[in-house]
Amino acid sequence: MNQLKCLLWDVDGTLADTERDGHRVAFNMAFEAAGMDRRWDEATYGELLKVTGGKERMRFDIERGGMADISDARIAELHASKTEMYQKLIADGAIPLRPGVLRLLQAAYDSGITLGVSTTTTPSALDALIEHSLGSEWFDRFAVLAAGDIVPAKKPAADIYLYAMQELGVQAGETLALEDSCNGWLSAQAAGLKCVITVNGYTRNQDFSGADLVVSEFGDADRDAIEVLDNPHALENLHHVELAHLQAIMQAD
């Protein structure tokens, strides 16, 4: 019977609803500052989220005719500008944590469970979110911050999860991934991990076949009950997701 020893958290859409009101807005601010006509509305950005990585999304938009062709160096400059805009949005309190995130993090930390981050977002964007939305003490509470281009292949490849587990010295059988998207789920699955999905407006209708729990959010005791979209392990009392639910998932066959 496997015991839960490690939680690996995705960031964008999982820790916080960063995509629609964070990254998308910051991209548009960077485009405007650069004198470009391109703007990504909510529907367009939802399409672009099929591609992981901000620089990769810009290249994809260029290749499909949405943006004028620019060099890889220019893409990198725009992405750096976008990251600065995003950090300011976080510092201004525009991107709060999703319901239940801090509660689950604290419960896991208090229980001695190893915590880590496995994300495609840039290290500077991750640092800003931790600093302003969680608190600086969490830099020490996360045992690994695996982010950005630290691995050659981004999600849905398994690389970022394999890297994090190697850094932590943990095995897939004792590690649970927390994700929000199909690409994230496929990445966790490829790394041999069990996975809980907390969907958002962009990912709700994606295919999460085989995931271990799919919910609308982690929720809290003082909020309305969460919506449970898939519960293959027949977990009980899912008004909100508790650490005991995550432990039960690890122990399930």
Residues carrying an active site annotation: 10, 12
| Amino acid type, 33 | A
Contact call for residues 196 and 249 (beta carbons, < 8 A): yes
Could you tell me where the beta strands, DSSP code E, fall in 119-247?
142-146, 175-179, 194-198, 213-215, 228-230
| Amino acid type, 80 | A
In terms of Cβ atoms closer than 10 Å to its own Cβ (0-12, 13-18, 19+), residue 251 is exposed
Which conformational region is residue 125 in: left (phi greater than 0), alpha (psi within -120 to 50 degrees), or beta? Answer: alpha
Interatomic CA distance for residues 219 and 222, integer angstroms: 9
Residues of 29-52 as b/e, b for ≥16 C-beta within 10 angstroms?
bbbeeeeeebebeeeebbebbebb
Nearest CA among 31, 134, 157 for reference residue 85: 31
Interatomic CA distance for residues 13 and 184, integer angstroms: 10
